[in-house]
Each structure stands twice: as C-alpha cells, then as structure tokens.
Amino acid sequence: MKFENYNIEPGIKKNIHTLGFKKPTDIQFKAIPPILKGEDVMAIAQTGTGKTAAFAIPVLHRLSQNLALGGEKKIRCVVMAPTHELALQITGVFEHIGENTKIRCLCVHGGVEQEPQIAKLEYGIDILVATPGRVFDLVSQGHIKLNAVEILILDEADHMLDLGFIKDIRDLIKFLPKQRQTLFFSATLNDKIKKLAYSLVRNPIRIQISPKDPVAKNIEHFVAFIEMDDKRFFLERLILENPQSKLLVFVRTKIRAERVCKALERASLPAATLHSGKLEKDRAQTMSEFRTGVTKVLIASDISARGIDIPDVDFVVNYDLPEQVENYVHRVGRTGRGTKKGQAYSFCSSEEKLLLLEIEEYLGKHITVLTISKRNYTATLELADEKEDNWRLLLNDAEKAAIKVWKKKK
C-alpha cells in the first residue's frame, strides 16, 4: 500500500510526497489506520522505524477535519517527549507534514527562558510538543489550558520514566479531559512501562514491531576488547582511517565526554560534545553542525541516544558500554536508519565484559568480535605515543620561543 491510497487530506498527501515518503514503514502501516479511527494505540517499535510520522500523519489529518474557524485556537493535541532535542525534532516533523494546513504547532521545553514560549502560546496553537517538566510548570502557572485536548501522545515513554518524569506525567494527566485519544510509543517494553501505559490507554490497539530483534537489521555490530586507558588511541585510529565518515561516540558521563573530546583535540582531531551540562543554544548549534556534516565526530552522553534522527551517521562507537542494556539499542539506532547501512563498534574493557554478556543476552545473539592481534594493538599505542611526543615537542618549541621573546624584551 502507498501513502496516496490513504484517506487523508490532499495537502498532507502532497507534503508526504514532497518529503520523499512513498510506502509506509511497518510501524506506519500498522499504526496509521487505528489512529485515523480515533482508537488508543500502544506501539512498541525499534528506533529508526518512522514512529514520529506514524502518529504525525493521522493526527494532522484528524485535526484538519475540524479546524476552528475564526474563534480562539485551543490546544487539541499534546505530545510529550523526554528531551529538548527529541521535542524539537517531533515539532519539525509536524511542521513539514502539516505545511499549509493552518495547523499551528509549538515546542516548549526547559533550558531556555519561558517568556517567549508564553507569548507564542497566547497567539494560539493546535499542537503542543513539550518536555514534561516545562509543560507542567506552564500548566501550574495558568499559561497552558488543556481542557480542549483531544489527543495525548507519549513518545519514548520508557526514557521519560528513566529520567524521573513519571510524577510530572501523572500530575499532568489530571488536567486533561478523560474522553481523549491516547497514543503510547516506545522502543522498549518492561513492567514499569506496561503499568504506565495501561493506566493511560483504554482498550488499546497493541502494535509490536520486530519483538525478537530489537535493533535494525541493516546495522552491523562489532566488539573489540580494548582496555579502558587505551580506548582513546583506538578511537583516534578509527577516525583517521575514516576521515570522511560521520561518527557518533557514546560515553557514560558528561565529564568523560569532555575528557575524550580534549584528548582528540590534542591529537589534532576536531570533535564536539553533547550532554546535559551544555546550554540549550550550544546543544542546538552542536546538533545542527553534526547534522549538516560541519562536525564529523560527536561525543555524547545517552541524552542524545533516544529518538534523535541524525542523517548519515556512518559509525556509532560505544566508547563505554552502557550500564542499561536498553540504551545499547537506542545508541546503535542512530546509524543504519531507514534503508541505509550502518556500523556499530563497541570498545569493551576487562571490567565491562559482564555488561557485554547482558547486552548479547538482550539482543538474543552474539556480537561479532574484532580480533586485534598483539602486534596491531601495540602498534596502535606506539603510533599514539609518537603523536603524543610530537605534541610535547611542539609545546616545548613554543615554550622555548616564548622564553627567547621574553629575554629579548628584557
């Protein structure tokens, strides 16, 4: 079935065609019809399968069928997402698919001043995309009214629970009409997620895509056994051997992200970092530069692993193995998106081997081991030492030159 065969607004169909969508993905094929009928949906699908469009297309159609004429615009759909980046991305999808439909969409999130967001809210919107903390703050202050909401969407719901948003979500639900359509989307499913989902939906259509294989089939997985202190040298080598490739490198903490970035910069390899410790405007600029290819290497904490659609990521590198196995799925899902191929490399130290076993058990298969001979391992370290020595020589030369200038001045 093609999108042109769906009974949706002609303007939306035109936008879908312009965006290059021809046939729906599995999650879109299964989710769009029940959403169009107004049914509650609980969908579990691996990342990179087109979940956002799966709810954006039918929701835009439903809202366009009954646009408010003349009178005050009221919020008719609320979409909650765990991070600023994902909320902004979802907003972009709604805006592109809903172009020229007269449906207004606004994203509100923390990390920035709320006054400009309040001003846009007063102008009137149809769809509100938000992070739970900021939307609850604005509701509590009386700037957001939710009494006219017809559709509630929770995207990446499991990550919202991981980030501690469960109380904000439950408190927010109290302000919503009981008679509404609820759409629940997530990449993973556990008992906590089930409990939350079934407390919100009514007789939902349950959709689960590729339950036996939680990661996309067009991603190749490799693991290399590298000791913790040696990892940065092998990352340098991977970057040098793939100079035109886009690499997304995952570490456990924001402090570690900055340290790895500084190490690469000392080796004359430019990189950028993305984590919760950066200002919103800096995060937005970093994402923009990585998306467009201005930045080739991005070192990130898990905040950017969930749901973010970054085009043409050639390699995902698990510099540190994730402590939660589900995060492996979300990390590697940044590559091999859609029909494109991708590669995921994991650097596993001696102390991380138990984590590797847990990941393999979760995936239901072994990850291909990249055997590094002792000779190649030593050669990589020696190459790095040589570069370190060159760097030190440059520093020494610069220091000597500065002393000469100082002596002349004396």
With 70 as the cut, is the pLDDT of residue 389 above it? no
State percent of the chain over pLDDT 90.
46
pLDDT digits (tens, 9 = 90+) for 331-362: 888 888 766 789 999 999 999 999 999 999 88
The parent domain of residue 223 ranges over: 219-372
pLDDT digits (tens, 9 = 90+) for 286-301: 988 998 999 999 999 8
Q: Determine which helix (DSSP H) or strand (DSSP E) holds 264, and give its type and residue range.
A: helix 254-266
- Residue 324 confidence (pLDDT): 84
With 50 as the cut, is the pLDDT of residue 392 above it? no
Check residues 68 and 148 and name the one with the higher pLDDT.
148
- Same domain for 119 and 228? no
State percent of the chain over pLDDT 70.
87
384 within some domain:
no
Phi-psi domain of 300 (left: phi exceeds 0; alpha: psi -120 through 50; beta: other): beta
| Radius of gyration, alpha carbons of the chain | 24
What's 195's domain CATH number?
3.40.50.300
> Over the chain, what is the mean pLDDT?
85
- Same domain for 192 and 299? no
Instruction: Tell me the residue length of the chain.
Output: 410
- Residue 35 confidence (pLDDT): 96
Check residues 213 and 292 and name the one with the higher pLDDT.
292
pLDDT digits (tens, 9 = 90+) for 169-205: 888 888 999 999 999 998 777 777 788 888 888 899 9
396 within some domain:
no
pTM of the model: 0.70
Residue with tokens 């970054």: 310
25 within some domain:
yes
Provide the number of structural domains found in the chain. Answer: 2
- Same domain for 59 and 185? yes
Of 164, 186, 208, which residue sits at a domain end?
208
- Residue 216 confidence (pLDDT): 64
- Same domain for 65 and 201? yes
- Same domain for 171 and 231? no
- Same domain for 160 and 259? no
- Residue 398 confidence (pLDDT): 46
128 within some domain:
yes
Q: State mean pLDDT over 235-247.
A: 94
Whether the Cβ atoms of residue 78 and residue 128 lie closer than 8 Å to each other: yes
- Same domain for 74 and 38? yes
91 within some domain:
yes
- Residue 296 confidence (pLDDT): 95
Neighbours of 284 (CB within 10 A): 16
CA-to-CA distance for 399 and 410, rounded, in angstroms? 17
pLDDT digits (tens, 9 = 90+) for 248-286: 999 998 899 999 999 999 999 999 999 878 887 888 889
Q: Determine which helix (DSSP H) or strand (DSSP E) holds 225, and give its type and residue range.
A: strand 219-225
pLDDT digits (tens, 9 = 90+) for 93-109: 999 999 988 899 999 98
- Same domain for 241 and 125? no
- Same domain for 51 and 176? yes
Of 208, 231, 246, which residue sits at a domain end?
208
Check residues 398 and 159 and name the one with the higher pLDDT.
159
59 within some domain:
yes
Band (pLDDT 50/70/90 cuts) for residue 229 is very high
405 within some domain:
no
- Residue 352 confidence (pLDDT): 96
Q: State mean pLDDT over 220-232.
A: 94
- Same domain for 283 and 345? yes
Band (pLDDT 50/70/90 cuts) for residue 68 is low
- Same domain for 236 and 314? yes
* Residues sharing a CB contact under 8 Å with residue 365, sequence separation 6 or more, in sequence order: none
393 within some domain:
no
- Residue 341 confidence (pLDDT): 85
- Same domain for 204 and 234? no
Of 187, 208, 229, which residue sits at a domain end?
208
With 70 as the cut, is the pLDDT of residue 211 above it? no
